Structures are given as structure tokens and as C-alpha cells.
Amino acid sequence: MTLQTTNGAIAVTRFGLGARPGELDAASVEPQGWLKAQITPSGGEQPQGPLPTGRAAFAAYTTALQDFRQIKRDTSVAAPPGGVMKDGAPDDLKARRKALLAPIRDGVRDEIVARTRLATTTAQPFRERWTLFWANHFTVSAAKPKAAMLAGPFEREAIRPHVFGRFETLLVASSTHPGMLMYLDQARSTGPDSLAGTRRDAGLNENLAREILELHTVGPDSGYTQADVIEFARALTGYSIGVDRDGGDQAGLALFRPNLHEPGARTVLGRTCPAGGSEQARAILADLATNPHTADHLARKLAIHFVADDPPPALVARLREAWTDSRGDLSTVALALVEAPDAWTPQPAKFKRPYELLVSSYRAMGAIPADGDREVIAPLTQMGDRPFTAPQPDGWSEQASDWAAPDAVVKRLDWASGLSTALASAAPSPMQVADAALGDRLTAPVRTAIARAETRPEALTLLFMSPEFQRR
């Protein structure tokens, strides 16, 4: 065992997504260099498949919604006194609505499968893990039905292209994409004193402003107040989504509507931005992107994701310094993470989420999920980690305590046993799989347990459920 091979194992398991056959050998030649080569100006890789653009997904949802409303109008028949509803019965409407929205649900399913297949096959797993961190940070969840059709396009259009660029660019792209505008109810937020606000009963929505401050930038410990939220929400008014009446070239795209924008200067976190249209919110976003509290918040969050639930203070300080010195250049921050000694501690401290477990298991077997519904959607739903469905805007939890409850571990065991049975006959020997996946991280007790297993499926199940494989 050498430091080089130990660091190779850390590179593929902690920074990557779990080793595919032969990957551990390649990473062990120069572990840091292997990771640094994956930091690319082009951003994250894109999932492959006939996946719709955000505009196309929004158009499909709009059409389905219009069709449902028309069906509801056509079949709205009042029940006579003491009688029974006929064609307009609620159950009938629900069934028709379900049929109309089936393409939207299928679209989310296709996004999940395509993204998972990318993760199980990519030769640049650090690049993908880094991308998935930012996708979780800027969550748009299909758990909110009206945002479902845009969750996948949001990740592909607003997140993946910018993950190694400037944080300001990523922040603006995510904050103004139709997916985020829909998810956080920004599209109809109206300034009370705007042209539209004085003509109709429309209100200010604070959701996007609050989440940008609390989750995406300065964080809850920065000292922002409710007054800052309201002021920022006023600055964001006008950011909306184009519809057909705006013209075919605007439908489904982010659109600034001046008639919704609250006039006047805005002061957020002590900084005053003069009156203006779309430029006002952009200026506030630029200030937030370089705010020292944002550097603090994001440095700690990155350290938690990659290294430990309670990360080393020296690592957080190093990432914060890289962030501040580069004014939020994410390539620089990624390099600082890879070069930080505290990121290479031998003891694995992070407990894999179910998605990470599934991906790393397929990678260890050199396999690709073939049946998207049975091999991806069903198990991730069962284990509570279905992509694009985080229950809250803060995304999926990073804490082991949220994933290691006894019933959750039982579900992992059931899944691992099923996968091992399905793939055992086509795989190399379980010991070969274990060595190729974990290298120097494979301990003697687990090696012995695998060697003594009575069947290949049992040996693989022992590997996948071992502490070494469950942690990274």
C-alpha cells in the first residue's frame, strides 16, 4: 500500500462517484492531476437523449393545462337537487387531467434516467459530482407539479454550463431561468406601485428573494432581515415567463415585464441600488455573489458535501480564501478543494445518499441501468432519493442522520440484494469487483467476509453494504 494508491482510492470514492473497472488504476497514477483534468471551462457534461428544451417543456405543459381547463368547462354540469353529477364528475376530470399530464410525467422520468445513466458511465466523475452539488444547491423540484416539466431543463440549461465559471453567472442564470421563476412563484410577483399593481389586485411574492438570500448566497447567519427580503423581492418584480400572447419568439423564455416592476431605489444588506428595470435585480445579485457571507456559506457547504458533515475548519478557511481572492471563480475554488490536505484524510466520513449508492454500485459492476423504471425510478423512489423531487427548496440533506435510519438501511439492503442477484452472473468475481472499486480502502474483515460468502450474489451484497462502500 502506498500513499499514491491510497489517494487514488480517495479520489475515485470521495471526489468521484465510485470507480468503474480500471478507473482506480488510472486515478492512482496522479490523483490530483486526474481530478484537475476534469475542471473544464465548458462546465458539466450533458445527459444524452431526446430531452426537451425548457421552451418545449413549458409549451407542452401550457397546452395540457389549456386542454384540461377546456374539458372542465365543457363537462361542468351542475348536479340536480338530490341527483348525481354526470360527465363533470371530479373523478372523471382527475382521470382526464392525469392523461393530459402524462407526457409531463414521462418527461421527468426521462430526465432522471438520462442523468443517472450519465453518472454511471462518465469518465469524469468529479466533474459530475461537482455539477450535482450545484444542481442540489439551486434546487428546482418536480415535487411542485407546476415546476415538474422544467426541473430537468433547468439543470441542463441554467446549472450544467456554468459550474466552473463565475458564481455570479451561475447565480443569475439560475435565478432568472423559467424553472426557478415557476418553482418559487416569481413569474406573477407584482410590485404594489407598479403599473400593473395599481390596476389590479396583484401582490408581491417573497419566495425567490428569500431563498436566494437564505439558501443560494449569504445564508441564514448573515444577519439579513425581513426588510431586506421585501426590498429584494421588490427589485425582482418584473422577472417572468413569456407566453404565446407575448409573441412566438418569447413564449417559454425568461422575460422581464416592466409593467410588473416596483419603481424606486432598493436597499438590500446596506447597499442601495438606484431605480431601474431588470438591471436593478442584476446589480443586487452581483453584490450578493461577492458578499463575504456568501463565501463563508458556500465554502462550508462545499466542505460538508465533499469531506464531512462537520468539516475541518482549515478546509473551510482554504475554500473561503480561494472564493474571496478569485471573486467567486468556481474553477479556482474546485482547484483549492482538490489541493487541500484536509480533503484527503484517509478515513471516509460521508454516508452515501441512495442516489450515490445506486450510481457507485453500477459503476463498480461496470454496468448501465437498462430498465429505467425498474432499475432507477422504482428503487430511488423506494429509498426516498428520487432525483428532481427534493421536498424543499434547500435540496437533499447532506447529513448522515437523515439517511441512516434503521428502516432506510433495510431498504438499502433489499435493493443491494436484488441488484447483486441480477448482475452477479455477468460480473467478474466479487473479489475483483471489490478490489477495483475500493482498492486500499477494502479492509481485511470485509475481504474475508466476501471470500467466505456462499454465493456470488451474497458476496456482492456484502460488498455493497460494507461500511467502506456505504461511505465515501
Would you write out the chain's pLDDT as a tens digit for each of its 472 residues?
577 779 999 999 999 999 999 999 999 999 999 999 999 999 999 999 999 999 999 998 888 888 878 877 776 644 444 444 444 456 777 777 778 778 888 999 999 999 999 999 999 999 999 999 999 999 999 999 889 999 999 999 999 999 999 999 999 999 999 999 999 999 999 999 999 998 877 799 999 999 999 999 999 999 999 999 999 999 999 999 999 888 878 999 999 999 999 999 999 999 999 998 999 999 999 999 999 999 999 999 999 999 999 999 999 999 999 999 999 999 999 999 999 999 999 999 999 999 999 999 999 999 999 999 999 999 999 999 999 999 999 999 999 999 999 999 999 999 999 999 999 998 889 999 999 999 999 999 999 999 999 999 999 999 999 999 999 9
Q: Domains of the chain: which residue ranges?
A: 54-78+88-165, 184-289, 354-470
Residue 443: how many CA atoms within 13 Å on its side-chain side?
10
Q: Which uninterrupted H or E stretch holds 384?
A: none
pLDDT digits (tens, 9 = 90+) for 5-25: 799 999 999 999 999 999 999
Interatomic CA distance for residues 33 and 20, integer angstroms: 18
Picking from 429, 435, 424, 422, the residue whose alpha carbon sits closest to that of residue 469 is 435
Q: What is the dihedral of CA 7, 352, 420, 45, to 10 degrees?
A: -70
Q: Which DSSP string corresponds to 22-64?
A: THHHHHHHSHHHHHHTT--TT-S----SSPPPHHHHHHHHHHH
Beta partners for 273?
Answer: 266
Picking from 451, 452, 449, 455, the residue whose alpha carbon sits closest to that of residue 467 is 449
Backbone dihedral region of 232: left (phi > 0), alpha (psi from -120 to 50 degrees) or beta?
alpha
**Helix%, strand%, coil% for the chain, nearest 5:** 60, 5, 35
Q: How far is CA 279 from CA 134, 181, 238, 273, in A?
A: 25, 17, 11, 9
Interatomic CA distance for residues 147 and 354, integer angstroms: 24
Picking from 374, 437, 385, the residue whose alpha carbon sits closest to that of residue 411 is 385
**Contacts for 235 with CB less than 8 Å, ≥ 6 apart:** 209, 262, 266, 268, 273, 280, 281, 284
Q: What percent of the chain has pLDDT over 90?
A: 84
Cell matching residue 294: 456568501
Interatomic CA distance for residues 309 and 311, integer angstroms: 6
First to last CA, the chain: 19
pLDDT digits (tens, 9 = 90+) for 95-125: 777 787 788 889 999 999 999 999 999 999 9
Cell matching residue 289: 455573489
Cell matching residue 28: 492512482
Beta partners for 271?
Answer: 268
Residue 8, SS3 per DSSP: helix
pLDDT at 82: 43
pTM: 0.94
